[in-house]
């Protein structure tokens, strides 16, 4: 038997109703902040991620699905393609390719699958979904302002509250700018030198190539060493410090609570200044629902003009998991209002006519078949979870009134055709 590939999964009903509920709330909330949707391709030139995410990151060095294009033309030979492991690089590529700076400030969001060859576990998949948004544009359009950082964080708090996800925690840090990073990396290297021999192999590599990444380490034995390392907060220059303070002040003014976490450096190289994560207790080991930050140098790193930006990516799989923990999930699952049971030969056409009328009134209708006996129709109606069963037999058609039975209470009434939709809608 052929099964879904390890780390991938089928999203089945009724859970897919939760996914749609999340996505429609996302579209509503983001709209209020004037974000618009962008859809970029699922695969891109490998170079985009090497340059945009960073060669030294776990994503690029270990986790990408990459292959050589099989085109015949010489220009296609040896051309490497990659399934996108994240979407920010794709959005910024599109920003540059279509010269989106002509529009001033761009506020773009996306919803779609991403691919990383990680070790699968609960809440971690090889194909997973992200909901993300980016604010990018020339500094003259205000893209560098701490107001943008705070606005994005407040929007996320609003979204999580709207979805009914209680108990989230916003962790906030500033990772400074490349200037600060030089002095910080120097201090880190010095502090790591005498202790790195006792650390994991990944940290030994990071200490040489990009010491900042040591803070990504999850190996328990390394944690006491990491605790004693210098922190980026001690190395922020004046503009970065002022920016960070301003973000916090706006958050306090709008009543979004946060905690400072000076170990938060995030997995991607292109982040500058504000870095953040929202975590949720119900998720267990993989407790980050979303992460994001500022990436003021990314557009230039990809060959574009200076275009400061800030964005985030929500793990939709994990968001849905958090939602499943809360009571509100039940209310989202929509069962059929009615099962229509045609009773006797020639009744399929009458039932179809009735179903068509009721569906036009937005009722959810499941339709049976005239060959089913009444007992079987009742069984099927119960199985699909319909609230009512409606019998369409010869007598009913003649009277133009139909037997409507509440499957939970057993109560049965005869309802005229014209009253059916209103009656059921009224009880919803
Ligand atoms: P990142 O792009 O690494 O900053 O991740 C942003 C968010 O995507 C994380 O906070 C997770 O919620 C989610 N995420 C990242 N990797 C995975 C994965 N392999 N499976 C499920 N969700 C993931």
Query: pLDDT tens digits for 237-255?
Result: 999 999 999 999 999 999 9
CA of 277, closest atom in ligand 1: 10
pTM: 0.91
Q: What is the mean pLDDT of residues 150-177?
A: 95
pLDDT band at 56; cut points 50, 70, 90: confident
Beta bridge mates, 172: 260, 276
Q: Report the nearest-CA residue for atom 21 of ligand 1.
A: 124
Q: Is the CB of 116 under 6 A from ligand 1?
A: yes
Peptide bond into 14 cis (omega under 30): yes
Tell me, using a 6 A CB cutoff, whether residue 291 lines ligand 1.
Answer: yes
The protein residue with its alpha carbon nearest to ligand 1, atom 20, reads 124
The pLDDT of residue 332:
75
Which residue's CA is minimally distant from atom 14 of ligand 1?
Answer: 315
Establish whether residue 130 lines the binding site of ligand 1, counting it when its CB lies within 6 angstroms of any ligand atom: yes
Q: Is the CB of 318 under 6 A from ligand 1?
A: yes
Which pLDDT score, from 0 to 100, does residue 269 have? 60
Q: Whose CA is closest to 15, among 366, 317, 287?
A: 317
Q: Is the pLDDT of residue 29 over 90?
A: yes
Residue range 152-161: mean pLDDT, rounded: 97
Q: Is 138 left (phi over 0), alpha (psi -120 to 50) or beta?
A: beta
**Which atom of ligand 1 is nearest the CA belonging to 116?**
19
**Cβ(49) – ligand 1 distance below 6 Å:** no
Whole-number Å distance, alpha carbon 317 to ligand 1 midpoint, is 9
Name the closest-CA residue to atom 16, ligand 1: 124
Radius of gyration of the chain, Cα coordinates, nearest whole angstrom: 28
Q: By CB neighbour count within 10 A (0-12 exposed, 13-18 middle, 19+ buried), where does 176 fall?
A: buried
149 lines ligand 1 (CB under 6 A): no
**Residue 281, pLDDT score:** 80
| Ligand 1 pocket, residue 341 CB under 6 Å | no
Q: Classify 278 in phi/psi space as left (phi over 0), alpha (psi -120 to 50) or beta.
A: beta
Confirm if 163 and 42 have CB atoms less than 8 A apart: no
DSSP 345-398: TTHHHHHHHHHHHHHHTT--EEE--TTS-HHHHHHHHHHTT-SEEEEE-HHHHH
Q: What is the pLDDT of residue 294?
A: 96
Q: How far does the centroid of ligand 1 lie from the alpha carbon of residue 121, in Å?
A: 12
Tell me what pLDDT residue 268 has: 61
Q: Is 315 in the pocket of ligand 1 (CB under 6 A)?
A: yes
358 Cα: distance to centroid of ligand 1 (angstroms): 42
Note the pLDDT of residue 421.
95
pLDDT at 267: 55
User: Would you say the CB of residue 313 lies under 6 angstroms from ligand 1?
Assistant: yes
> Ligand 1 in contact with 125 (CB < 6 A)?
yes
Which residue has 């990408």 as its token pair?
64
Nearest 10 degrees: CA dihedral of 342, 343, 345, 346? -40
Q: Does residue 88 surpass a pLDDT of 90?
A: yes
Q: In testing the pocket of ligand 1, which one of 279, 291, 310 has its CB within 8 Å of the most ligand atoms?
A: 291
Look-up: residue for tokens 């946060």?
A: 258
**Over the stretch 260-318, which tens digit does the pLDDT of each residue have?**
999 898 656 668 999 999 998 877 767 889 999 999 999 999 999 999 999 999 999 99
Please, what is the average pLDDT of the chain?
Answer: 93
- Provide the pLDDT for residue 57: 80
pLDDT band at 220 (very low <50, low <70, confident <90, very high): very high
* pLDDT value of position 208: 87
Atom 3 of ligand 1, nearest CA residue: 267
Among protein residues, the one with the nearest Cα to ligand 1's atom 12 is: 315
Residue bearing the CA closest to ligand 1, atom 15: 315
**pLDDT given for residue 328 in this prediction:** 61
In this prediction, residue 309 carries a pLDDT of 97
Q: What is the mean pLDDT of residues 99-127?
A: 96
Provide the strand spans (E) within 159-282.
168-174, 259-260, 272-280
Q: pLDDT (tens digit, 9 = 90+) per residue, 312-363?
A: 999 999 999 988 877 566 667 778 999 999 999 999 999 999 999 999 999 9
Residue bearing the CA closest to ligand 1, atom 23? 315
Q: Give 115 Cα–ligand 1 centroid separation in angstroms.
A: 10
Exposed / middle / buried, residue 250 (Cβ in 10 Å: 0-12, 13-18, 19+) = middle
| CB distance 319 to 131 below 8 Å | yes
Is the Cβ atom of 56 under 6 angstroms away from ligand 1?
A: no
Q: What is the pLDDT of residue 166?
A: 84
């Amino acid at each position: 038997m052929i099964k879904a590939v390890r780390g991938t999964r089928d999203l089945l009903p009724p859970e897919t109703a939760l996914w749609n509920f999340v996505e429609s709330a996302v579209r509503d909330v983001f709209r209020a902040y004037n974000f618009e949707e962008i859809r970029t391709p699922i695969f891109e030139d490998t170079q985009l991620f090497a340059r945009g995410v960073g060669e030294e990151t776990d994503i690029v060095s270990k986790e990408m699905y990459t292959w050589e294009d099989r085109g015949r033309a010489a220009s296609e030979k040896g051309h490497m393609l990659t399934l996108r492991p994240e979407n920010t690089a794709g959005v910024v590529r599109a920003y540059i390719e279509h010269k989106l700076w002509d529009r001033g400030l761009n506020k773009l969001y996306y919803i779609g699958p991403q691919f990383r060859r990680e070790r699968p576990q609960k809440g971690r998949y090889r194909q997973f979904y992200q909901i993300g948004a980016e604010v990018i544009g020339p500094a003259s359009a205000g893209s560098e302002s701490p107001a943008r950082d705070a606005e994005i964080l407040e929007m996320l708090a609003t979204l999580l509250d709207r979805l009914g996800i209680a108990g989230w925690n916003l962790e906030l840090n500033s990772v400074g700018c490349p200037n600060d990073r030089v002095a910080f990396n120097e201090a880190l290297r010095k502090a790591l030198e005498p202790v790195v021999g006792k650390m994991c192999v990944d940290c030994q590599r990071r200490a040489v190539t990009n010491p900042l990444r040591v803070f990504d380490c999850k190996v328990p034995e390394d944690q006491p060493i990491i605790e004693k390392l210098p922190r980026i907060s001690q190395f922020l220059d004046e503009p970065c410090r002022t920016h960070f303070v301003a973000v916090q002040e706006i958050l306090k003014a709008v009543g979004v609570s946060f905690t400072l976490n000076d170990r938060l450096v995030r997995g991607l190289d292109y982040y500058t200044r504000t870095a953040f994560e929202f975590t949720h207790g119900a998720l267990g080991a993989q407790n980050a629902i979303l992460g994001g930050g500022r990436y003021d140098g990314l557009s230039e790193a990809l060959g574009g003009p200076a275009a400061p930006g800030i964005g985030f990516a929500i793990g939709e799989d994990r968001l849905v998991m958090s939602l499943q923990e809360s009571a509100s999930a039940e209310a989202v699952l929509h069962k059929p209002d009615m099962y229509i049971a045609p009773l006797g030969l020639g009744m399929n056409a009458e039932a179809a006519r009735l179903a068509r009328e009721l569906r036009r009134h937005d009722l959810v209708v499941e339709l049976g078949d005239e060959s089913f006996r009444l007992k079987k129709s009742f069984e099927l109606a119960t199985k699909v979870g319909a609230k009512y069963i409606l019998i369409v037999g010869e007598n009913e058609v003649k009277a133009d009134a139909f037997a409507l039975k509440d499957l939970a209470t057993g109560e049965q009434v005869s309802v005229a055709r014209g009253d059916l939709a209103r009656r059921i809608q009224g009880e919803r």
